[in-house]
Amino acid sequence: DSLLVNNVLCPVLDDYVAAAQATQEFQDHMANVTQPLVSRLKQFGIDSVDASNLWMTMDCFYTHVCHEHSVPAWLDDIIPEVLEEVNWQMNFQYNYPSAREYGRASQGLLVADMFAEIEAAVKGNAAYKLLLYGGHDTGPIQPLLAAFGVYDGIWCGYATHIEIELYRTSAFKSNHGVRFLYNGRVLTLPECESSFCDYAVFSEVARSLIPTEEQCKSRRPPSDLAAGLPVINVASPWE
């Protein structure tokens, strides 16, 4: 469980973020939209805000609003703008260089853990009937939805949940079907013919999101790596 996607186990994620932020589209947006918004916030006395930590300001705003705490009147107009801006930045990131590639780097190891349990259940070796994973909007909820091709681009709310359900069925040759739900709404993955997906198809989608050790390697010099989450001592997932 981490607030943002974990770039420690799959460092190529930093490559993607740096490359996305270096695009002309991103730079133009920063100059024409983000920086003017940051300047307005500073005029209101929020001196610590900048383009890189605007999401923290949004979190602060919305924890007040969602819990019905009073906020200054000037925030009424600017809070939606801050959310729209942070949402734009995140969506741009989730889709660079593609939703599948970013998703593989940011969510692939979580998918690997989940898929191993699903596959064990298909083979009749499941240790549990229900597994529960906890996380955040920025990771895993939104990037996981984007990786599977079903994110609508709208920032998720409090208590958002994703369910992946496995069924035995004679409807498919695999004898199993999968449903993918978001806040109780059944979604249809792009590769599936309907919302009730053949396990054989779902398994191919899931496998495509699981990175190899080589795919996770950063292609940039160590001195050029972007600062991400604090590096902690973790075991290699490939050992």
How do beta strands 176-182 and 185-187 pair? Answer: antiparallel
pTM: 0.87
pLDDT interval class at 2 (50, 70, 90): low
The contacts found for 77-82 with CB under 8 angstroms, 24 or more apart, are 78/37, 78/40, 78/41, 78/44, 81/37, 82/37, 82/41, 82/54, 82/57, 82/58
Average pLDDT rounded to a whole number, residues 213-239:
59
Give the model's pLDDT for residue 234: 41
Classify strands 176-182 and 162-168 as parallel, antiparallel or unpaired: antiparallel
Decide: 162 and 187 in contact? Cβ < 8 Å: no
**Rounded to the nearest 5 degrees, what angle is found at the Cα of 55, between the Cα atoms of 51 and 61?**
120
Per-residue pLDDT at 76: 85
How much is the average pLDDT of 110-139? 93
Q: Comparing 9 with 121, which gets the higher pLDDT?
A: 121
pLDDT, tens digit (0-9, with 9 covering 90-100), for 152-163: 999 999 899 999
pLDDT digits (tens, 9 = 90+) for 55-104: 999 998 988 888 999 888 888 889 999 999 999 999 999 999 999 999 99
